Structure formats: structure tokens, C-alpha cells
């Protein structure tokens, strides 16, 4: 079954990754419509040996479209996604605009694929850090309920968009040549530095990224009582987020049990070679769809055997964005 597909935000980093993933997975496209702002309209893009001209995104852009991927920002999704739904397209939205809205599925296909078909024309793609955490935690949660998650993230600059890459590259070049380092969009120097995730601090003292990981995971797991706390940090890495995850389980569990469960889990690749000190790294996760999982060890601060430590790396542009959305669309058709 071939479908008519639109990509809103087609010229952005995630929009371009959509095209790569759609091609790699041989997604059955009958007609492709690439949409962006008026500034990008008229640009040409190559896809599967054909040249496509980018069109300006309007509320009339979705006639005869069956699946519309949105990755142009939350305000754009709020303005134009309802028009796509009204035109009978199913929207898979990669922004935060609809994630916590009642009645809109928030989906990681390895976790809650059954939620996909409960849509009313709109499906939300979770935050990238949430996806990267949920993929390895969920299969463990199914076997032995996770009661508490403590997660610290190390998030690549491209998670902020293409401009994050440009800013890191410019600052590194300036540092290497002895030139002044200029901050443009990040609130602090990112080259040779780390800082708290560049989102607004809420009244509870957590930044937006941290609150997203808490709230979204509870919705995806359908478990409003699971205890989660997060610390999200921006690091000078071009691509792929990493996360240190501490899990408290309902019953005792061993590292060998965790390895056995995760070795069979979809979307997971175990990288856990203690002899070679080889564990998940963003460099190796970049360009991959699977989440790399390693540093699997008992939490020695507990005597009850119910604590496990993990370290993971995942490509936030692929599995954290484009790939997850395309997987949702594959299950739709």
C-alpha cells in the first residue's frame, strides 16, 4: 500500500533526516510533498533519484495527503496540523505541541504500539531524550516493574537544531585559532564546556527538558505513579545523546538478567565490553537507529539487589525523532 506523504519542515535537520530514513526503510510513497517556510520555498531536494521542489507551507497544503510528518516547531504544528487533520491526513508530530494533550497518543513503537490506532488524526512523537530512555527501560519494566528512575542526560548540540552544530563548530574553530569565542544562540559558551539544558526553568526547579522526560514517560508507560527525576545537560558533542540511568525495581534483579532481557529487546544493541572498557558512545550511536546500552551493573548503594545502573547512547535525530515517527507511520499502514 503506497501513500501520499507530506513533510512540514522539510529543509530542517529533522526534515532532512526524515528523507534519509524514508529512503533507507523503503517506505511506500506514492506522492511526496515537501513543505517549509516561504524563505525555503523553491529550493530543490533530491529523493530516490528524483528532484522535488519545496513548497510553502499553508493550510491548503494537505489535499490528498494521507500521512503528514511535522518537524517545523511547536507553533507551526499548532497552526497547521489541525488543517492537515481536517484534510483527512494523519499527522505524526515531532514537536512538543500535542504530547501531553488528553486523547492524543504519545508513542514509542517498541513500548506502546497499541496506542497508535487510538488516534483522532494526530499522533505525537515523544521528546528525543524520553525515547532514548524508554526503549531500554520498557522491556525491563515489563519483566520486573520499575518503581523509580534517576536519569542524567548528556545532550548533543544538534538536539537544539542545525544552528547548534554551527555554533559549536564556529566556537571550536575560534578556540583553535586564538580568536574570540562568540555566543549567538546558546546562553553560554558550548565549546569546551557543559551547562544545564537550554530550556526554561519551571516553578518546580526543573527545566523543560527534565519535566518532559518525567511527564512523557508516565504517559507512555501508562503509569502516573512511577517515580522519575531527571537532570538534563548540554554537552559539546555534535550528535547523539547519552544518558546515565539508575533503576529501582519491584523485585531483586541481576545484571545478567538485565543483559538477557535487553539482548532480545527491539531497538536495543548491547555494548558492554568491560574487558576492553568499551561501552556506549555518541560517536558510535550516531547514524544508528538502535539505542546502545552498556555499563550494566548492580547499584552497590543498595543491599536489596533491586537497583541497576545503565549507560546508553542514542541518535536523537534518528531514533529520537525521524526514525521513531517513520516507525509509527509504518504501523499505521
Q: What is the pLDDT of residue 304?
A: 97
Domain ranges of the chain: 3-126+321-332, 130-316
Residues 6+ apart with CB under 8 A from 233: 152, 153, 154, 155, 194, 195, 196, 197
Beta strands in the chain (DSSP E): 3-8, 29-36, 44-47, 50-53, 55-56, 67-70, 90-93, 122-124, 146-155, 195-196, 227-234, 241-249, 268-270, 291-298, 307-314
**Separation CA 194–CA 153 (nearest Å):** 11
pLDDT at residue number 92? 98
CA 292 vs. chain centroid, Å, equals 14
H-run or E-run covering 220: helix 208-221
State mean pLDDT over 47-69: 97
Question: DSSP character for 115?
Answer: G
In 10 A of CB 203, how many CB atoms?
A: 5
CB 246 within 8 A of CB 299: yes
Integer-rounded Cα radius of gyration of the chain:
20
Q: Which of these, 12, 50, 14, 17, lies nearest to 32 by C-alpha position?
A: 50
Q: What is the mean pLDDT of residues 147-168?
A: 95
pLDDT in tens, 124-138: 999 999 999 999 999
pLDDT > 90: percent of the chain: 97
The catalytic residue among 119, 141, 197, 241 is 241
What CA–CA distance (Å, rounded) separates 64 from 87?
A: 7
pLDDT in tens, 249-306: 999 999 999 999 999 999 999 999 999 999 999 999 999 999 999 999 999 999 999 9
Cα–Cα distance, 311 to 300 (Å, whole number): 16
User: What is the C-alpha end-to-end distance of the chain, expressed in Å?
Assistant: 7
Please tell me the CATH code under which domain 3-126+321-332 is placed: 3.40.50.720
87, three cell numbers:
484534510
Over residues 220-248, mean pLDDT: 97
- Give 256's contacts (C-beta < 8 A, 6+ positions apart): none
Mean pLDDT on 79-107 = 97
Q: pTM score, two decimals?
A: 0.96
Beta pairing partners, 153: 232, 243
| Residue tagged active-site, from 128, 141, 197, 232 | 128
Pick the closest to residue 292 from 265, 260, 317 (CA basis): 265
β-pair partners for 67: 5, 90
91-103 burial code (b ≥16 CB/10 A, e <16): bbbbbbbbbeeee
Domain 130-316 class? alpha beta
Examine the pLDDT at 161 and tell me if it is beyond 90: no
Q: For this structure, is 241 an active site residue?
A: yes
Q: What is residue 198's three-state secondary structure? A: coil
Answer yes or no: 128 catalytic: yes
Amino acid at each position: 500500500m503506497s501513500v501520499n506523504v507530506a513533510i512540514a519542515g522539510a529543509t530542517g535537520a529533522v526534515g532532512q533526516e526524515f528523507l534519509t530514513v524514508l529512503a533507507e526503510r523503503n517506505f511506500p510513497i506514492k506522492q511526496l510533498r515537501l513543505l517549509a517556510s516561504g524563505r525555503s520555498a523553491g529550493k530543490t531536494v533530491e529523493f530516490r533519484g528524483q528532484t522535488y521542489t519545496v513548497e510553502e507551507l499553508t493550510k491548503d497544503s494537505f489535499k490528498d495527503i494521507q500521512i503528514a510528518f511535522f518537524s517545523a516547531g511547536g507553533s507551526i504544528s499548532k497552526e497547521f496540523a489541525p488543517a492537515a487533520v481536517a484534510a483527512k491526513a494523519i499527522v505524526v508530530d515531532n514537536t512538543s505541541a500535542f504530547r501531553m494533550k488528553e486523547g492524543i497518543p504519545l508513542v514509542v513503537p517498541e513500548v506502546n504500539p497499541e496506542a497508535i490506532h487510538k488516534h483522532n488524526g494526530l499522533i505525537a512523537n515523544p521528546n528525543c531524550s524520553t525515547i532514548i530512555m524508554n526503549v531500554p527501560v520498557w522491556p525491563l519494566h515489563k519483566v520486573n516493574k520499575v518503581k523509580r528512575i534517576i536519569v542524567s542526560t548528556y545532550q548533543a548540540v544538534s538536539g537544539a537544531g542545525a544552528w547548534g552544530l554551527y555554533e559549536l563548530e564556529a566556537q571550536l574553530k575560534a578556540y583553535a585559532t586564538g580568536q574570540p569565542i562568540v555566543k549567538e544562540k546558546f546562553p553560554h559558551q558550548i565549546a569546551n564546556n557543559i551547562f544545564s539544558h537550554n530550556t526554561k526553568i519551571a516553578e518546580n526547579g526543573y527545566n523543560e527538558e527534565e519535566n518532559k522526560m518525567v511527564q512523557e514517560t508516565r504517559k507512555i508507560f501508562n503509569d502516573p505513579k512511577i517515580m522519575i527525576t531527571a537532570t538534563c545537560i548540554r554537552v559539546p558533542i555534535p550528535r547523539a545523546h547519552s544518558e546515565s540511568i539508575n533503576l529501582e525495581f519491584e523485585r531483586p534483579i541481576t545484571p545478567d538478567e538485565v543483559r538477557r532481557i535487553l539482548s532480545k529487546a527491539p531497538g536495543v544493541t548491547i555494548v558492554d565490553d568491560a574487558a576492553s572498557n568499551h561501552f556506549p558512545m555518541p560517536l558510535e550511536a550516531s547514524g544508528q537507529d538502535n539505542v546502545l546500552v552498556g555499563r550494566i551493573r548492580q547499584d552497590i548503594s543498595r543491599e536489596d539487589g533491586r537497583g541497576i545502573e545503565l549507560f546508553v547512547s542514542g541518535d536523537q535525530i534518528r531514533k529520537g525523532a525521524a526514525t521513531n515517527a517513520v516507525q509509527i507511520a509504518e504501523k499505521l499502514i
